[in-house]
C-alpha cells in the first residue's frame, strides 16, 4: 500500500496489488445458461441422469486428459478420494500409508471408510513422501499407499509402485493439487491404480466451486467407483445403466450437470494454465538461484510440476530472524507469502490426536476386532522440521514476469538486511 515502509525503512519493492486470479469468463457462463435452458424445455434434468449427459461427457474427456480408460465424477476432491477407497473395498481396520503434509481431505476418507492412516515421513526438499519411509511403514495390515503430489509436484513414484507390486498393495494417487503434472512422461493419476483430482475453486481448474474426479484403468474399479458415488446403486453393464436396489453401501457424491458443464470448459483451458505456471515457476527458480538464505523447491528427476503453489526453503541458520519474521519482511515488500503450508504434520491435528471421529468411540483405532492404536508421536521428524523452514507463494496464471522479478528483488532485499555476518 502507498506509504508503507519496507524492511530497510525505505520504499517497498512492490506497491501495486498482487494480480487477482480470474478463472472463468463468458464460456463458462454460456455453458451454464445452456444447461438451464435445456432443463426448461422438457425431460432434461440438472442431475447426472440427463440425456445426453454432460457429466458423462466430462468424465470421458477427463479420462483422455489423464491418460486412463475411465473417470468417475464426484462432488468434491475429498469425495474423489473416498470414491477411490470405496471402489477398492478394503477390509475394515486395514492400513493406508500416506503423507503427513497434506489437506485433511486426503485423510478423512480413510477414516470414514473404517481404515487406519499410517504416515510416512517426507523428503524435506519436496515435502512429498519418501519411498524409503513408505517401505518402513508397511505391515501385514497394509493394503494401500496414498501418495500426495503436493503443490503440483509429483512424488518419486517408481519406487512407490515397485513397493506396491512387491506387496500386492493398491496405489491411490492424490492429485488434488497436481493437474497435468507429469512423472517420466506420464500424467499423475495414471501411474497408480487410481488417481483423485479436486475441482474446487482455487485449483488449476474448477467445476464451479466444488467437484472431483477419480480416474482408473480397471473396469471393475470404475464400475464400483461410479456405484459408490451414487448410493451404491446396482450397475448393469449390458444396459450401461444404474438403478435400485443398491448393491452395497455407498454415498451420494454425484456431480451435477451444471458442475460438469463448467468443468468441461475449464478442462480445455488447463494446458494454457499449466504452461504459464511452469514458465513463471522456472523463471523464478532461476531468478533466486544466486541467493544463499532461501532456495526454490526441489522437483524430482523426470518430473514436471504444475505449480499449484510454490514453496521455498529458508536457511534460518544464516539469518538473524525466524521464519515468521522472514515472511512478514517479504509482505512488507509487497509479496503475499505464507509461513509454512500447514502449521504441524496432520497427525498432530486434534481429530487424530484426540481420536475425535465417531462419538466417543475413537474408532477405527479402538475397534476391539481389528483396530491398532498407533502412536503417531514424533513419527515424521523430517516433516515436522521441514514445515518450520518453508514459505509458500501463489504464482498463478494471471501473474506475469513482473511478479517473478518482484519476488526475486524482495528476497534479495530481505537477505541483504537480515543475513548473519561473520
Residue-wise pLDDT tens digits, 163-197: 999 999 999 999 999 999 999 999 999 999 999 99
Q: Is residue 135's pLDDT more than 90?
A: yes
Structural domain includes residue 301: no
Q: Is residue 240's pLDDT more than 70?
A: no
Total domains in the fold of the chain = 1
What is the 8-class DSSP label of residue 309?
Answer: S
Cα 128 from Cα 175, distance rounded (Å)? 12
pLDDT (tens digit per residue) in 206-235: 999 999 999 999 999 999 999 999 999 887
Structural domain includes residue 87: yes
What is the 8-class DSSP label of residue 211?
Answer: -
Percent of the chain with pLDDT strictly greater than 70:
95
Q: Is residue 2's pLDDT more than 80?
A: no
CATH number for the domain including 161? 3.40.640.10
Structural domain boundaries, residue 208:
26-266
Give the chain's count of helices (H) and strands (E).
12, 16
Structural domain includes residue 247: yes
Q: 219 in the Ramachandran plot: left (φ > 0), alpha (ψ -120 to 50) or beta?
A: alpha
395 burial type by CB count under 10 A (0-12 exposed, 13-18 middle, 19+ buried): buried
Confidence category of residue 1, pLDDT binned at 50, 70, 90: very low
pLDDT (tens digit per residue) in 241-263: 667 788 899 999 999 999 999 99
3-class secondary-structure state, position 252: strand
Q: Is residue 106's pLDDT more than 70?
A: yes
Cα 84 from Cα 71, distance rounded (Å)? 11
3-class secondary-structure state, position 248: coil
Confidence category of residue 19, pLDDT binned at 50, 70, 90: very high
Confidence category of residue 238, pLDDT binned at 50, 70, 90: low
More confident residue, 376 or 421: 376
Structural domain includes residue 74: yes
Structural domain includes residue 363: no
Cα 59 from Cα 76, distance rounded (Å)? 14
Structural domain includes residue 7: no
Nearest of 66, 96, 70, 67 to residue 81 by alpha carbon: 96
What is the 8-class DSSP label of residue 47?
Answer: S
Nearest of 6, 209, 173 to residue 80 by alpha carbon: 173
pLDDT (tens digit per residue) in 140-165: 999 999 999 999 999 999 999 999 99
The position carrying cell 494401500 is 144
Phi then psi for 219, rounded to 5 degrees?
-65, -40
Nearest of 182, 218, 124 to residue 304 by alpha carbon: 182
3-class secondary-structure state, position 43: coil
Average pLDDT for 300-313: 98
CB 144 within 8 A of CB 221: no
Least confident of 77-81, 316-320, 394-398, 418-422: 418-422
Structural domain includes residue 330: no
Structural domain includes residue 384: no
Mean pLDDT of the chain: 94
Q: Is residue 4's pLDDT more than 60?
A: no
Amino acid at each position: 500500500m502507498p506509504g508503507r515502509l519496507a524492511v530497510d525503512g525505505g520504499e517497498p519493492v512492490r506497491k501495486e496489488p498482487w494480480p487477482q486470479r480470474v478463472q472463468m469468463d463468458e464460456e463458462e457462463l454460456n455453458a451454464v445458461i445452456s444447461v438451464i435452458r435445456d432443463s426448461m424445455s422438457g425431460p432434461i434434468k440438472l442431475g447426472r441422469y440427463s440425456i445426453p449427459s454432460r457429466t458423462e461427457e466430462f468424465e470421458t474427456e477427463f479420462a483422455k486428459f489423464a491418460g486412463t480408460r475411465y473417470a468417475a465424477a464426484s462432488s468434491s476432491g475429498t469425495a474423489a478420494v473416498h470414491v477411490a477407497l470405496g471402489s477398492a473395498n478394503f477390509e475394515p481396520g486395514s492400513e493406508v500409508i500416506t503423507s503427513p503434509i497434506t489437506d485433511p481431505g486426503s485423510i478423512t476418507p480413510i477414516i470414514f471408510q473404517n481404515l487406519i492412516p499410517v504416515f510416512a515421513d517426507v523428503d524435506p526438499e519436496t515435502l512429498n513422501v519418501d519411498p524409503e519411509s513408505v517401505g518402513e511403514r508397511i505391515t501385514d495390515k497394509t493394503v494401500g499407499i496414498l501418495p500426495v503430489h503436493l503443490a503440483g509436484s509429483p512424488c518419486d513414484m517408481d519406487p512407490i509402485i515397485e513397493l506396491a507390486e512387491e506387496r500386492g498393495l493398491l496405489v491411490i494417487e492424490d492429485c488434488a493439487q497436481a493437474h497435468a503434472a507429469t512423472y517420466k512422461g506420464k500424467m499423475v493419476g495414471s501411474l497408480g491404480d487410481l488417481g483423485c483430482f479436486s475441482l474446487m475453486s482455487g485449483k488449476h481448474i474448477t467445476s464451479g466451486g466444488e467437484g472431483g474426479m477419480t480416474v482408473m484403468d480397471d473396469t471393475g474399479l470404475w464400475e464400483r467407483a461410479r456405484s459408490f458415488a451414487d448410493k451404491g446403486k446396482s450397475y448393469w453393464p449390458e444396459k450401461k445403466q444404474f438403478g435400485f436396489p443398491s448393491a452395497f453401501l455407498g454415498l451420494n457424491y454425484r456431480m451435477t450437470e451444471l458442475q460438469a458443464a463448467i468443468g468441461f470448459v475449464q478442462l480445455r483451458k488447463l494446458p494454457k494454465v499449466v504452461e504459464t505456471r511452469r514458465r513463471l515457476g522456472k523463471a523464478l527458480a532461476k531468478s533466486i538461484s544466486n541467493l544463499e538464505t532461501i532456495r526454490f523447491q526441489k522437483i524430482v528427476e523426470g518430473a514436471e510440476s504444475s505449480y499449484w503453489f510454490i514453496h521455498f526453503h529458508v536457511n534460518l541458520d544464516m539469518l538473524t530472524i525466524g521464519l515468521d519474521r522472514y515472511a512478514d519482511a517479504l509482505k512488507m515488500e509487497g509479496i503475499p507469502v505464507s509461513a509454512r503450508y500447514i502449521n504441524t504434520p496432520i497427525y498432530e491435528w486434534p481429530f487424530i490426536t484426540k481420536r475425535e471421529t465417531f462419538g466417543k468411540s475413537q474408532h477405527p483405532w479402538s475397534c476391539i476386532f481389528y483396530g491398532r492404536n498407533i502412536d503417531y508421536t514424533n513419527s515424521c521428524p523430517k516433516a515436522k522440521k521441514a514445515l518450520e523452514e518453508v514459505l509458500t507463494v501463489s504464482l498463478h496464471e494471471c501473474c506475469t514476469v513482473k511478479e517473478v522479478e518482484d519476488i526475486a528483488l524482495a528476497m534479495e532485499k530481505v537477505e541483504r538486511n537480515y543475513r548473519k555476518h561473520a
